[in-house]
Amino acid sequence: MIEHELTVTNQLGLHARATARLVQLLSGYGCSATLAAKGREVNAKSIMGVMLLAAGRGTKVLLRVDGEDEQACADAVAALFERGFDENP
């Protein structure tokens, strides 16, 4: 299992479009993935779950991935967060 702390840097936070990108990215990996913030943990492969986190800009979230391709998955998610979900600032 890998844990990785990430910060939401994009303008609108983990809103619908960003969440859809995250979920689409994760659907390519077999490992399980959760995101935790503000004292709750949700299935990162669920749009509803991730949107319920209401993680706005600047929120710190903890990614937990567990499974065979966990390293590749954690790297890809970290890269997506770093790019601000490809929204231009």
Q: Which of 23, 18, 2 is nearest to 54 (CA)?
A: 18
Question: Between 32 and 51, how does the x/- string for binding to another protein read (CB under 8 A)?
Answer: ----------xx-xxxxx-x
- Point out which span in 1-9, 15-23, 63-71 binds another protein (CB under 8 A): 15-23
Binding-site size for another protein (CB under 8 A) equals: 26
Q: Cβ of residue 68: shortest distance to another protein, in angstroms?
A: 19
∠ at Cα 9 (12, 67), nearest 5°? 105
Residue 64 binds to another protein (criterion: CB under 8 A): no
DSSP 18-45: HHHHHHHHHTT--SEEEEEETTEEEETT
- Catalytic hit among 2, 15, 41, 84: 15
